[in-house]
Structures are given as structure tokens and as C-alpha cells.
Structure 1
């Protein structure tokens, strides 16, 4: 019934907007009008139900139906309660009736269906695409993949047509506006590493943040960006806005750029109107930016990104998916090879060595299956010191784990320590205990999992 009333109200609202187009541009006014139309539609349904069954619905039933219609029309339908729950980190949908939710420090649990059929689920996703997709994103047989940013910065990825049923994954960044100090409190870094990373930003070092999915790369990138002077002009390039540096208030000169999907019409093998992050970088360079931040490097855009880091003033940042810190160099080379036939491993290695100053790697130890919690933390900070004898970038472990501590603690002083000292870093912080400035080793139910003791150089 909620779905049918939603369609009736949507048609009535469309007619109202057609009569007064200016009102349709004001989201608050549109929702207010929609709320009034929903109340009228529910009242008509309630009267009809009373005539048909001899018993009127209760006020609570009317109110619940009105909220369900409102959520379908303006929000995310039966998915909305999970989006509103701040404890929910991930939502996984494998068809309308196979819905799984991961809450903070809890394993996945199945929850009730979010639609009565897969067709209804696809309709919900299409509605979300119209409201949040910037006009060009859709989900259909012609466009079977959908990526969206939802209210509150959540990211949705959906597939249909190429899968037996509609599949959806929603990820929430629970730490939306954390500073490095906040990440100290959360246990991601200790005071020493927080001071070190802040100095890297002030000293305009180029930093790549790596790790697997869900370990907190975006949150750390956002926190480190909080150390950029407020009046510096920076650009952010993302597939879908997740950093939100242009809305958080600290930085007053942010040029946010978002990649654009095509409209489905193929031109020379590409969707018409498509703009990739790599194609946005040249335009970004003409915006008088002092730093460029790429939310996530996924493909051939790594090459223009590395060139920006090499030729610019320094201080640019990006994130990259990689399982271990010492896989990062080969991961970069793999993406560089997507750039074109003129790219080679040796050129990719040289680009990496010239562009990057530090690789900051995040890890997670998940003990929720045995009654523990998820521990997310920086495990390594690697300094990139030019090309090594093998023709690969030379890496040295400035911060890394020890046999009894999986989190990053000081190992070897960086070669650029004087630059960091000029940026206000107190080098005496590196002269600490084997556990860094952590009060005690990480409290794990199954101890261990640390890396090689001492500073590893490869």
C-alpha cells in the first residue's frame, strides 16, 4: 500500500510542480508539499479501509503508513532506518530479502527485507539515483552499475543485470570530521605519529594513504587535510564526494570536483559525457591550486596524479587500495600500465620514486567473531627515498609494528627529518619506548600479529 500511495503522491506532486516550476527547485518546499499530499492520501486510504472492513485503522497505523510513504518518496524507503542508525557501518543487500547489516564491533547480522520484490528494490535504487545522482546516474540494463553518495556522506554501489539479483553495498564513514587528535582518541594513531603526520602536511610532503576497504583511509586523509593552512587553495577530486572538505569549514579555499558518469550512449567506446578523475586533473591545475587531493586512485589517473606530485609545490595526497604496505609500489605500477602502451614498469617506478615522500598504511584486526572488537590503526609509515639499486623505489620503515605491537611505532628517523623539524616537529618524540607513546600494547584477545621488529628496508 505504501508503494501505491507513493506513486499517487508523486504524480500529484509532479502536477503541482508543473503548475509552479519555481517551487520545484526548493527542496524544503517540495518536501513540505509532499508531506501535505501524503497526509491527504493516507486520510483517503483510511476512510476507504474503514468502509471496506468496518473498523478504521488506528492513529499509529496511519502515522506509520505516512512515514513509510514519505521515506519512499523523499528518502530511502525501508532502507532508511539503517541509514539513520549511527551504529551501522555497512549494509549488504543480495536481493530484496537477503539484507545484512554490520554494526560497530559486531559481526554481520541478517535483517528483514527492504522491499517486497527485486523489481521494487530496483525502483527504490532508481529513485535514489534521480535524487542523489546529479541528473546523469541511473540503474538499468543499459547502465547496470550505480555509484551514489547519500545524505550524510554514505556511499552506495549497486549492480543489476550483470548479477542474478540486484546487489547493493552501502558504506558509512562514521568519523565524518575527525582531526588527528580525534584519531588519537580512537586509537588509530598515537601522539607521536599524529605529530609526525601533521608535520608532513605542514612541510608539504606528498603522502599516499593505503590499506584495504573499510580501514579508515578516507577518515585519515580528511584528518590530515585538517592540518593544511585555512587559506591555502586546494582541489579535491573524487568519484563521489566523500571527503566533504568544502563543507567542514576549516578550509576556506576548496575547489571540489566530482567525476561524471556518461549518459549511456557510447562514443568511441566510452559513454557520452563521461568525465574521469584523470581528465579533471588538467582543469584542476588551471585553478591556481597549491595542493591536489584525490579521494581514491583506482586506475590510470594515478599517472597524472604522480606527475602533479612531482611537478607541483608538494603537499598533495591520495588514497589507494593495497593489502600490505610493501605491495603498494607494485600496485601503483599495475595502475600505471593502464595508462597506455608507452608506460613501462621502469617508468612507473621512476614516477613513484620522484612523486611520493611517504606511504601511510592502515590495517585492521577484526576480533568481533570471538567477542572482541575491530581495531583500526596505522601499521606502517614508509619513506620513499628515490630509486634503489634494483630500479625500484627505495622504501625505509620510519614507523612500523614490532613483535608485541601491531600498531606503528618509531623505527628509523626519516631522511627528511630536518624538513619536518622546520615545520615544527619535535624529533625527540622519536626517542620513545618500544611501544611508542601508546600507554600499553594493543589489547587483543589473541595477542600477536605484529610485524618484523626493527626497521625493515626494501
Structure 2
């Protein structure tokens, strides 16, 4: 706070809370028949992108906002604030904002002052302009394409969100805040990072110089209510016959590979199948960013780690899968197979770890199996192709293909 600021603090207004989230998850319900009964996808309508008008901010408000943020940054101990109870911290921040506005004689209406207080609270205690979007249960994905362009996906439709960041540095600061919470870093020397939020939401961030038009942030929202095969049947995503086969395959310890494109529901399907694992089994999961929601009591979750500033300490997915074999697992679950760890997962499936599962990016089941072969070849593992195919055929019992239609369902 400036040195000549008055000692007396004005009475703080009641805290401005973030928008109340919806009462529950509202998954997308496809109006088309179950996936197995669809004859053609060519008639599906493409995903609509609905533009949204950004709120107009006056130069007067933006100038006042810059002054308040600068004074807050210089005069308020943010570290002590984040350790307080959230409600108390909001009240203290709002009191500080009011003090600065009065001392600086800033020309703001009561509505603008409330908006500014909320912005400061969200910036210090949360993730800035993203807070209202993170509080909504109906949003599946948040896509930030620079400081002035934010898109969201709701019910299979993509639309522009009416929010923006102050500038590109503000967006980069939010990215750094997200990744540092899980012990990772993002900067010019390491401009790409995968992370997760406290609620399990998956995050990918990429900043300049790789992101030419400003930092880019993609958040796959974590659904609090775990979907089940029964729920997917109600939505028409899975036929009753297919659901029965999947239930039996998971319960009878079949080795399952889930294949599909980006956003097709591979992780959702994997979560559904883990619900049929016996509570007495020891399950070990390996992921880049933990997002699986296993309900069993005997679960160990492992996560990869990027290298530090000196380029040391990196832990790859293959390291985790190989270490799993020394941890006496009944089942091994790999969140996403995309490298040489495919060989180690096949080895585990073929050496007594029945019921193991994994996902792979592929457009059809045959391509999914071919990708496993290619991943093993890329790992410089000196095994003849015929032997690799034999390993795959003996290890994989069931391939589940997930597909996202053009209309978003």
C-alpha cells in the first residue's frame, strides 16, 4: 500500500462470490441411436461455434484497474492472504481495494467497484478470469487462444466465452500458477507443460515462443459425478448388448485396450470399466496427469515427471510401467499409451497381470493395434515385427472403439 495511505480502513462490503455452479453434471445426451446401430456419420452436423460479445470496458475502468492491481502487488502480502480462510481473505482483499480506490480518488461506480473487487479476489485466490468458468458444471472444455479469445464447450457445442485476460503476461502468470501447484514449471526454456487442477481437471499449457499469438491454455474439466455404463446406455452412447459385454470383460479380468480420437470419451469409458474391478484387487495406475476416478480401496496412483532446470530427474511413462511390475499389482492401468511403454504393458499383460487396461489414440480398432506395434518400434526395442504382433495378439483380449461424432455427441 502507498506509504501515505490513511490509517483508517473503510467498512468492507459483503464479499462478492463466484457464480453458483449448476446443481449437477449435465452430460451430453445424444439424440441418435447407440453407436453400434449408427449406419453413417456423414449426415451429422458439424459442431457449431457461437460467437459471444465481450463486455465493453471503458478506458477509465481499465486505468483504475491497473492502478489497483499495481498497488495491491506492491503493498499487500499475498502469501499471507492465501493462507487465510477463503471468506476472510476475500473480505481483507475487498477492504484493501476500497482503501486504494478512496485514497487514489478513483472514479468508479459501485458496480465497477464490485467488479474490480471480484477480479482482484479471483486473481489472488484463484485463476483470474477462469474462475467463473471453472465453477460451472456444464462446461466440458475451456480453450484459451491468447489473452482476448476464450472458447468453451457445453453440450457438444463450442462458443466464445465473454471473458478476457488483462494482457498476455497476465495469462502466462495464470499458466505458471496452475503448473507450479503440481510441482511443474513453464517458461521460455520449457514452454509446454501438462498439469492438473486440484479437482482433477486436465490442463495443457503452451507459451511463446512456441505459441505465436500468445499463451494457449486448454482445460479438460473434471466431472464430479462418475459416469457408469448404465448412464451411457440412458444417453444412447452404448447399446445394452455392448454394455453387457463390457461389464463381463472388465469383471472377468480381460485385458482391454480402449481406442479413439481426441475427445471421444476414452478416459470416460476407462473410468466406467474400472467400476467392475473387485475391491480386493491391488490396482496401480500410471498417468501423465492423474484423472482416473477409481473407487476401490487398494489403489496406487503414479504420475510422470518432467525434467528440472538442469535437465535431470525426468520420470517417463515407461519408467512407471516397468516399476509397477515390482509393486505386486493385480492390474495395471495406463491412462494413455503413446510410446515405448506399450511394450512393457504388453509384457505385464502376458505375465500374469490379467485385467490390465489402457487407452490409445486411433481412428479404428485395427489402427489401434497397429499403433501399438509402431510405438514399440519407435522405442528401439530389437524385436522382430512378427514377434511384436504375436505379443499383441496374445495380450489384448478386447478392443473398445470410442468415437466422437461431428455434432459433438
Q: TM-score range, shorter-chain basis?
A: 0.7 to 0.9
Q: Is the contact made by 1:176 and 1:219 (CA closer than 8 Å) also made in structure 2?
A: no
Per the alignment, residue 191 of structure 1 pairs with: 240
- Residue 163 of structure 1, CA deviation: 2.4
Per the alignment, residue 128 of structure 1 pairs with: 178
Per the alignment, residue 208 of structure 1 pairs with: 257
TM alignment of 1:45-444, pairs within 5 A: 45-49=100-104, 51-53=105-107, 57-58=109-110, 60-106=111-157, 108-131=158-181, 134-135=182-183, 137-160=184-207, 161-164=209-212, 165-174=214-223, 176-245=225-294, 250-266=295-311, 272-367=312-407, 374-375=408-409
Per the alignment, residue 417 of structure 1 pairs with: none
Question: Residues 174-233 of structure 1, C-alpha deviation per residue, up to 9 Å, x if partnerless?
Answer: 475112212211222122221211111121100000100111111111111000112211
Q: Is the contact made by 2:179 and 2:196 (CA closer than 8 Å) also made in structure 1?
A: no
Q: Secondary structure at the match of 1:311?
A: coil
- Residue 256 of structure 1, CA deviation: 0.7
Say which structure is richer in strand. 1
Distance (Å, rounded) in 2 between the aligned partners of 1:231 and 1:358 = 23
User: Which TM-score applies when normalising by structure 2?
Assistant: 0.77
**Greater shift in the superposed pair: 353-362 or 339-348:** 339-348
Distance (Å, rounded) in 2 between the aligned partners of 1:192 and 1:315 = 21
Distance (Å, rounded) in 1 between the aligned partners of 2:142 and 2:338 = 22
**Greater shift in the superposed pair: 358-367 or 313-322:** 358-367
**Greater shift in the superposed pair: 34-43 or 137-146:** 34-43
Q: Secondary structure at the match of 2:292?
A: coil
- For structure 1, list consecutive stretches of 5 or more residues without a partner in the other structure: 18-23, 267-271, 368-373, 376-458
Q: Secondary structure at the match of 1:114?
A: coil
Question: Residues 264-320 of structure 1, C-alpha deviation per residue, up to 9 Å, x if partnerless?
Answer: 323xxxxx1111121012322222221011111111111111111111230010110
Superposition RMSD in Å? 2.3
Higher-RCO chain (CA-CA 8 Å, sequence separation at least 6): 2
Q: Secondary structure at the match of 2:267?
A: helix
**Equivalent pairs, count:** 341
Q: Is the contact made by 1:180 and 1:194 (CA closer than 8 Å) also made in structure 2?
A: yes
- Residue 34 of structure 1, CA deviation: 3.4
User: Which TM-score applies when normalising by structure 1?
Assistant: 0.69
- Residue 35 of structure 1, CA deviation: 2.7
- Residue 3 of structure 1, CA deviation: 4.0
Per the alignment, residue 386 of structure 1 pairs with: none
Q: Is the contact made by 1:5 and 1:41 (CA closer than 8 Å) also made in structure 2?
A: no
Distance (Å, rounded) in 1 between the aligned partners of 2:228 and 2:216 = 34
Change (3 A) 1:65 1:281: same
- For structure 2, list consecutive stretches of 5 or more residues without a partner in the other structure: 1-64
Distance (Å, rounded) in 2 between the aligned partners of 1:294 and 1:226 = 16
